Structure 1
Amino acid sequence: MKQLSVPQRPHINWRALDWLYYPLAAFAITRLTLFFAAYLSEIAFAESGAGGWHAVADNVFLDVWARFDSGFYLRIVQEGYLFKLGEKSNVAFFPVYPLLTDWLVPLVGQEVLAGVIVSNLCLLGALIFLYRLTKLEFDDASTARRTVYYIAAFPTAFFFSAVYTESAFLLWIVGTMYFARRRLWVWAALFGLLTAATRIVGVITFGMVGLEWLRSHGWTISTCFRPEAWWGLLRGLRTDWPSLLVIFVIPLGLLSYMLFLQRQFQDPVAFWTVQAAWGREDLGPVAIIWRDVSGLISQNFFTGKIWWHVLLDVGAFFAVLILSVFVWFRLGEAYAIFCLLSVLIPVSSGTGSMTRYALILFPLFMILGWWGRIGILDRAIMIGFSVFLGIFTAIFANWIFIA
């Protein structure tokens, strides 16, 4: 009698799924901890900051993730863009994140909930892309693991779950570089376009992808003095010019928003015009840094009466400058230029929120992830980041401005 064969279970290669479960673990651990910390901070401490409104007064779990600039995004979702010269206006905030939130509102029935879902889904996607990009650059899974944990536990990483644009921007920018490094230019251009329509510094991706295209044909800033680099570039222009044309799609993200502003308010750069309403001055990076550093020096650190948020922002600025040098030599000029321009553009009018701007500079975390192979440094980074993440989350939850 013929025996029936028992079908075997399909074998799952878990190691091949490391790109999914390590980012998912970093996401789950940090987000669950953060949600608990934010909720506890809100109910345990008397509100001592400048809060004048509550987006969801009857739900602390949701309300705690709508603070400060969240109000501008929520107003875009509810009422659209408004612009009045000399006043703070939501035209300063680019459209992709509020559009995603608006599309989700009919499904969940609540603007803040929709925003929180969008933020967290974008964060998870960004961590997956970042893991894969880091593994591609360093050919080391442990460096990739540390990188995603470091960025998810950074002291201002609570913004990734709030009604803010940070997580969406991180998703698009990391995706852009991942596809550019894989030479998938159409996908790189699409993600770059979304990046440019999410924040003003997103247009930098045009230069980043352009530099990667040049590098793919043997031309870099460091090799531009060699004749063979130019011959390689000429060959690339003859044979791969369609890919170069695709990259020119990226600035359309910014240009489309400028066209909307021109038609709606007759000011294509209204997002820059309104910066003065936030007290920003176009003095240039050197003058701004000198002003803030000299102001800090004149204060008394022993009494504690100092501009603590300015201290953090200036410290973050210099940390980015220093780490960008290591990024240049280890990861390349495109990554380093992105980091430098991402802080030099906003710091030309003020250092405010620099700790938040540093949050999306993923190449810095890739370098830290590489350094983290030294055990004591890895533990120091994780402990330090985690402690300050808890402190900063409590500060943010209680309406004290931090970034």
Structure 2
Amino acid sequence: MSEIVIAVSPVSPDVAQTAPAPAGPVPAGPPPAASVWSRWRPSVLAGFVTWATGIAIYYAVTAVSWLPVQDLSAKAGAAPGTLHGLLDAWNRWDTTWYLIVADSGYTYDARATAFFPLYPMAVRAADAVVPGGSYEAGLAVSALCCLAALILLHRLATELSGADDARRATFYLLAFPTGFYLVAAYNESMFLALALASLYFMRRGRWWWAGMFAGYASGTRMAGVMLGAAFAVEYLRQRGFALRRTDGRLRVSWPSLNRGVFAIVLVPAGLLVYMLYLKLTFDDPLHFLESQKSWFHDGFTPPWQVVMDVVDLIDRSEPLYGPDTIRNIANLATALGVLLLLVLALVGPWRLGAKAAYLVVFAAVVMLMPLSNPIHSYYPLSSVWRFALECSVAFMVLARMGRRPGFDRAYTGVALALQGAMIVTFVQDNFVA
């Protein structure tokens, strides 16, 4: 007699007592609204609490930022006497250019084409409903984008690393020394929110949504185009791409592709639309690159040469703790530190593994762009430690390191202390990043 063996998987009592599955195929469709909200609710709550706490701290630090000023009658150090004056203390540096574009367009000053259009377009739209002027509208847009970015980071980190790490990653991002730029009237939080939305939908395999948000990101900053590299890496991973060594030879296992691959054409859409506008307006689709020369960007330089140049500047700087020296040290340490964290995202005790490879690819490009296109001035890597905010996977690695209470306390204390000093520097109209 032949023997029939049936393998039965162990079933928990909870599962065993549930109703049997209905006969026939289960109709496809979107998940119920209740299950979507239950998945997103912790991220919305964590993001909102972090965001609201940050806003309150920024208000408090700004309010006391004039205590070290000796001559309050001086124009640069005049203390604000109203809430509006306190808000206006954040109207600094790049904000001016975004407001010029929002209020007057690019023809007012052709140098403004270095600042991509989506953020000032949103500011112009918000100005119609937000009380005040375009500056207040810019603050509102940035604050809402910051909230969206924190929620998206928490959701993505939860899926990759768990809820506890997600909570730390969200806090570590806003606590980073330049984290306050996420609520300033800059395009930083809009770009980060759009990039995280694209990266999240890539992980979920929703390629057309991922391509759409990447297209918006490329209309916010040129780095958005680099989401295409992340798209390709994650798409191939999910479709089963693999490298195998067989019989001493390296073989490539190519996956079958589906129509989702075509969504990658949406990634540069924002940039291409902007280039079309520049062609029609200035007869030069690359006018934004020409404008960069006004900020002393002058083409490609090998990253290792830039690093050596910065080290040399630090070595020759006088005084040792002068502003330019501090900026160079901060930017170089940030660039090298983030690159190290990207390596640790793939190998070592805090690794996230292959599932985070696409995040690493995007973050690496974000760091390498300023490292290979430096500013020819006293601080070649200017703003790098602001661009580090876009490297979300680096904060996920830091969150894993934060499982040790000693690291968590050290990061929190140092980061918040530095951020407080940077806010005071910023509102006093001194350059930070």
TM-score by length of structure 2 reads: 0.81
| Deviations 1:315-371 (CA, angstroms, capped at 9, x unpaired) | 111112211111234243321221221121122222111111112211100111111
Superposition RMSD in Å:
2.9
> Which residue is 2:391 aligned to?
361
Distance in 2 between residues matched to 1:49 and 1:197, nearest whole Å = 40
Distance in 2 between residues matched to 1:150 and 1:71, nearest whole Å = 28
Q: CA deviation at 1:59?
A: 2.1
3-state secondary structure, aligned to 1:155: coil
**Rg (Cα) greater in structure:** 2
> Which residue is 2:402 aligned to?
372
Higher alpha-carbon deviation: 201-210 or 305-314? 305-314
Runs of 4+ in 1 over 6 A off after TM superposition: 13-16, 47-54, 226-229
Distance in 2 between residues matched to 1:346 and 1:218, nearest whole Å = 33
User: Residues 95 and 210 of structure 1: is their aligned pair in 2 closer, same or farther, counting only changes over 3 Å?
Assistant: same
User: Residues 302 and 172 of structure 1: is their aligned pair in 2 closer, same or farther, counting only changes over 3 Å?
Assistant: closer
Distance in 1 between residues matched to 2:75 and 2:269, nearest whole Å = 38
Q: CA deviation at 1:51?
A: 6.5
Q: Is the counterpart of residue 37 in structure 1 residue 55 in structure 2?
A: no
> Which residue is 1:275 aligned to?
292
Distance in 2 between residues matched to 1:209 and 1:374, nearest whole Å = 33
> Which residue is 2:21 aligned to?
none
> Which residue is 1:132 aligned to?
155
Q: Is the counterpart of residue 244 in structure 1 residue 223 in structure 2?
A: no
User: Residues 326 and 149 of structure 1: is their aligned pair in 2 closer, same or farther, counting only changes over 3 Å?
Assistant: same
- Tell whether the 8 Å contact from 1:50 to 1:399 is kept in structure 2 after alignment: no
User: Residues 210 and 39 of structure 1: is their aligned pair in 2 closer, same or farther, counting only changes over 3 Å?
Assistant: same
Identify which of 317, 333, 357 aligns with 2:335: 317
- Aligned positions of 1:210-289 closer than 5 A: 210-219=232-241, 223=243, 230-233=252-255, 236-237=256-257, 240=258, 242-284=259-301, 285-289=303-307
User: Residues 49 and 299 of structure 1: is their aligned pair in 2 closer, same or farther, counting only changes over 3 Å?
Assistant: farther
User: Residues 18 and 388 of structure 1: is their aligned pair in 2 closer, same or farther, counting only changes over 3 Å?
Assistant: same
Distance in 1 between residues matched to 2:84 and 2:144, nearest whole Å = 21
Q: Is the counterpart of residue 177 in structure 1 residue 177 in structure 2?
A: no
> Which residue is 1:120 aligned to?
143
Distance in 2 between residues matched to 1:385 and 1:15, nearest whole Å = 30
Q: CA deviation at 1:58?
A: 8.4
Q: Is the counterpart of residue 160 in structure 1 residue 182 in structure 2?
A: yes
Q: Is the counterpart of residue 401 in structure 1 residue 431 in structure 2?
A: yes
- Tell whether the 8 Å contact from 2:207 to 2:263 is kept in structure 1 after alignment: yes
Amino acid at match of 2:174: A
Distance in 2 between residues matched to 1:48 and 1:300, nearest whole Å = 30
Greater RCO between the two (CA within 8 Å, min separation 6)? Answer: 1
> Which residue is 1:104 aligned to?
126
- Tell whether the 8 Å contact from 2:217 to 2:270 is kept in structure 1 after alignment: yes
3-state secondary structure, aligned to 2:65: helix
- Tell whether the 8 Å contact from 1:327 to 1:335 is kept in structure 2 after alignment: no
User: Residues 389 and 104 of structure 1: is their aligned pair in 2 closer, same or farther, counting only changes over 3 Å?
Assistant: same
Q: CA deviation at 1:283?
A: 4.6
Q: CA deviation at 1:262?
A: 0.9
Identify which of 367, 370, 388 aligns with 2:418: 388
User: Residues 352 and 95 of structure 1: is their aligned pair in 2 closer, same or farther, counting only changes over 3 Å?
Assistant: same
Identify which of 74, 79, 90 aligns with 2:99: 74
- Tell whether the 8 Å contact from 1:42 to 1:397 is kept in structure 2 after alignment: no
Q: Is the counterpart of residue 339 in structure 1 residue 357 in structure 2?
A: no
Distance in 2 between residues matched to 1:18 and 1:367, nearest whole Å = 20
Q: CA deviation at 1:155?
A: 0.6
- Tell whether the 8 Å contact from 1:65 to 1:116 is kept in structure 2 after alignment: no
Which runs of no fewer than 5 residues in structure 1 stay unpaired?
1-12
3-state secondary structure, aligned to 1:106: coil
> Which residue is 2:7 aligned to?
none
- Tell whether the 8 Å contact from 2:363 to 2:390 is kept in structure 1 after alignment: no
| Deviations 1:64-87 (CA, angstroms, capped at 9, x unpaired) | 2210000000000110013767xx
TM-score by length of structure 1 reads: 0.87
Identity of aligned residues (%): 29
Q: CA deviation at 1:273?
A: 1.1
User: Residues 303 and 250 of structure 1: is their aligned pair in 2 closer, same or farther, counting only changes over 3 Å?
Assistant: closer
Amino acid at match of 2:190: A
- Tell whether the 8 Å contact from 1:57 to 1:63 is kept in structure 2 after alignment: no
Higher helix share: 1
Q: CA deviation at 1:49?
A: 11
Distance in 2 between residues matched to 1:78 and 1:52, nearest whole Å = 28
| Deviations 1:259-298 (CA, angstroms, capped at 9, x unpaired) | 1111111111111112221122325123222222111112
> Number of aligned pairs?
380
Amino acid at match of 1:281: D
| Deviations 1:39-61 (CA, angstroms, capped at 9, x unpaired) | 3215763589997999x998223
